[in-house]
């Protein structure tokens, strides 16, 4: 083996010195193109793997998978490793500023793609290992005592009898948007979110979206970005939809959330710079932490502080036929409830690590996220399907918020907040570089 290695090493030395080989030195654009092809091919085996692709047609697989095709993980792992080796051979000192950010992000995205391929091939990771490899992030851990103390706060303010979750369900039933009003409430919320975002970003002239109502999904809303500044936004009506979800989803899926994030990446990086890797969005990758985090923080950007409740009282509550006099109290309770959000990560961590059963995870979600039993079970389906992806919503939001606010985008500087937020949405970032 040693002799063979020495021989190979010598051969590589000779080959690498020849002028013909020099011309084939790794090139980031070529690596990016091969990365796109790899992602699209793997995506043929898993419908969730590619969230969006709007790059050149000729990078797509030329043939459909034959019936019953078996996923050969090792073949794709080999290709991912080869691309990583080529990236490692690039002279890093020749990259600076945005180009360096591009190189770093491509390495992180590729690591995530490699990790997901290995998982599709049967590899198992703990929740925290998976989160690190796929999302470039280390999710914090909170004790049950921490959530119990938050629950005790809600226990004091919620009326009625029964446990906190039952009392919350009963209280919140006054804030359900009637089915026949859903479309008007959502269209109104989206129009307002779009108006506020456009005033700041001057959105592409042709940007647009289609809104559909769907059923039987593990999520509450989804944006399928189509390219050329177009989105398909789907909202799941399996469960009653509460009034706060109108602004939440309008901002998260639309403006300035996923729709705008994708449109800005396309405009600035794909069209503006020709960085083809951004035309494909592998879902289980660091880009998702920025996507979900910015989509959630985008709510606070478009409707900062008290302006949100003011707008809802004046416009959305009357359309939905809900008494605006109840709005302030409702949003105080929502703020308390939001602090419990990380309890969802604990359920996912314990469940995916095999420490608790699905039923125990659902009970935990009922108790700490105040879900009704059937919604808690729906949430376990989401955890099955998306696994450690759950961290992207809350940890992602916190990391994005810290980044924007550390760069001057505090609540009392709304203009600066939009400015930093736009920079974040328009450039390559991953969790560990949000500093």
How many Å apart are CA 78 and CA 56, to the nearest integer?
24
Q: Rule CB under 5 A: which residues touch Zn ion? A: 292, 295
Closest contact distance (angstroms) between CB of 262 and Zn ion is 11
The DSSP-derived string for 98-122 is HHHHHHHHHHHHHHHHHHHHHHHTT
Ranges of beta strands (E only) in 220-378 are 221-227, 230-236, 280-282
Nearer to Zn ion, 147 or 281 (CB): 281
Closest contact distance (angstroms) between CB of 248 and Zn ion is 10
Closest contact distance (angstroms) between CB of 252 and Zn ion is 6
How is residue 70 written in tokens?
């078996």
Closest contact distance (angstroms) between CB of 62 and Zn ion is 32
How is residue 112 written in tokens?
């995530």
Residues 172 and 242 sit within 8 Å (Cβ to Cβ): yes
Nearer to Zn ion, 136 or 292 (CB): 292
Nearer to Zn ion, 248 or 366 (CB): 248
Closest contact distance (angstroms) between CB of 427 and Zn ion is 20
Nearer to Zn ion, 295 or 322 (CB): 295
Alpha carbon distances (Å) from 207 to 29, 145, 198, 264:
28, 47, 10, 11
How many Å apart are CA 12 and CA 370, to the nearest integer?
62
How is residue 350 written in tokens?
């314990």
Contacts 24+ apart (CB under 8 A), 226-235: 226/52, 226/54, 227/52, 227/53, 227/54, 227/266, 227/279, 228/54, 228/266, 229/203, 229/204, 229/263, 229/266, 229/267, 230/206, 231/258, 231/259, 231/262, 233/209, 233/259, 235/186, 235/211
Nearer to Zn ion, 130 or 292 (CB): 292
Element (H, E) at 343: helix 343-352
Nearer to Zn ion, 244 or 292 (CB): 292
Closest contact distance (angstroms) between CB of 64 and Zn ion is 29
Backbone angles phi, psi at 207, to 5 degrees: -60, 145
Nearest to 131 by CA among 396, 330, 314: 396
Closest contact distance (angstroms) between CB of 258 and Zn ion is 6
Closest contact distance (angstroms) between CB of 295 and Zn ion is 5
Nearer to Zn ion, 279 or 294 (CB): 294
Residue owning tokens 């109290």: 329
Nearer to Zn ion, 266 or 292 (CB): 292
Closest contact distance (angstroms) between CB of 327 and Zn ion is 25
Nearer to Zn ion, 249 or 322 (CB): 249
How many Å apart are CA 11 and CA 31, to the nearest integer?
24
């Amino acid at each position: 083996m040693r002799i063979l290695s020495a021989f190979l090493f010598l051969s590589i030395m000779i080959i690498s010195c020849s002028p013909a080989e020099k011309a084939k030195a790794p090139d980031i654009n070529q690596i990016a193109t091969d990365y796109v092809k790899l992602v699209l091919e793997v995506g043929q085996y898993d419908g969730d793997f590619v969230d969006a692709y709007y790059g050149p047609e000729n990078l797509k697989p030329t043939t459909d998978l034959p019936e019953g095709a078996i996923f050969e993980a090792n073949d794709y792992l080999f290709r991912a490793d080869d691309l990583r080796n080529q990236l490692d051979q690039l002279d890093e000192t020749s990259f600076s500023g945005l180009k360096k950010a591009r190189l770093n992000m491509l390495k992180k995205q590729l690591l995530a793609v490699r990790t997901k391929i290995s998982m599709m091939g049967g590899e198992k990771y703990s929740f925290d290992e998976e989160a690190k490899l796929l999302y470039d992030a280390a999710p914090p851990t909170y004790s049950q005592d921490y959530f119990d103390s938050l629950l005790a706060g809600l226990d004091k303010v919620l009326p009625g009898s029964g446990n906190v979750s039952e009392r919350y369900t009963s209280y919140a039933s006054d804030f359900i948007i009637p089915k026949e009003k859903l479309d008007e409430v959502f269209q109104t919320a989206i129009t307002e979110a779009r108006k506020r975002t456009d005033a700041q970003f001057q959105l592409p002239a042709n940007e647009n979206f289609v809104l559909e109502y769907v059923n039987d999904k593990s999520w509450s809303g989804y944006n399928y970005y189509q390219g050329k500044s177009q989105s398909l936004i789907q909202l799941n009506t399996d469960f009653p939809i509460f009034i706060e979800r109108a602004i939440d989803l309008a901002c998260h899926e639309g403006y300035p959330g996923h729709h705008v994030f994708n449109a800005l990446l396309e405009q600035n990086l794909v069209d503006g710079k020709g960085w083809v890797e951004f035309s494909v969005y592998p879902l289980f990758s660091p880009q998702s932490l920025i996507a979900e985090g910015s989509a959630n923080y985008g709510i606070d950007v478009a409707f900062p502080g008290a302006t949100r409740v003011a707008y809802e009282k004046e416009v959305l509550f009357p359309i939905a036929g809900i008494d605006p006099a109840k709005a302030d109290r409702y949003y105080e309770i929502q703020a308390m409830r939001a602090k419990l959000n990380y309890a969802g990560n604990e359920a996912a961590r314990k469940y995916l690590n095999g420490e608790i059963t699905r039923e125990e995870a659902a009970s935990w979600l009922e108790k700490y996220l105040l879900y009704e039993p059937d919604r808690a079970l729906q949430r376990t389906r989401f955890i099955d399907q998306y696994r450690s992806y759950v961290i992207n919503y809350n940890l992602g939001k916190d990391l994005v918020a810290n980044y924007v606010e550390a760069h001057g985008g505090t609540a009392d500087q709304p203009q600066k907040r939009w400015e930093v937020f736009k920079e974040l949405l328009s450039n390559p970032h991953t969790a560990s570089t949000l500093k």
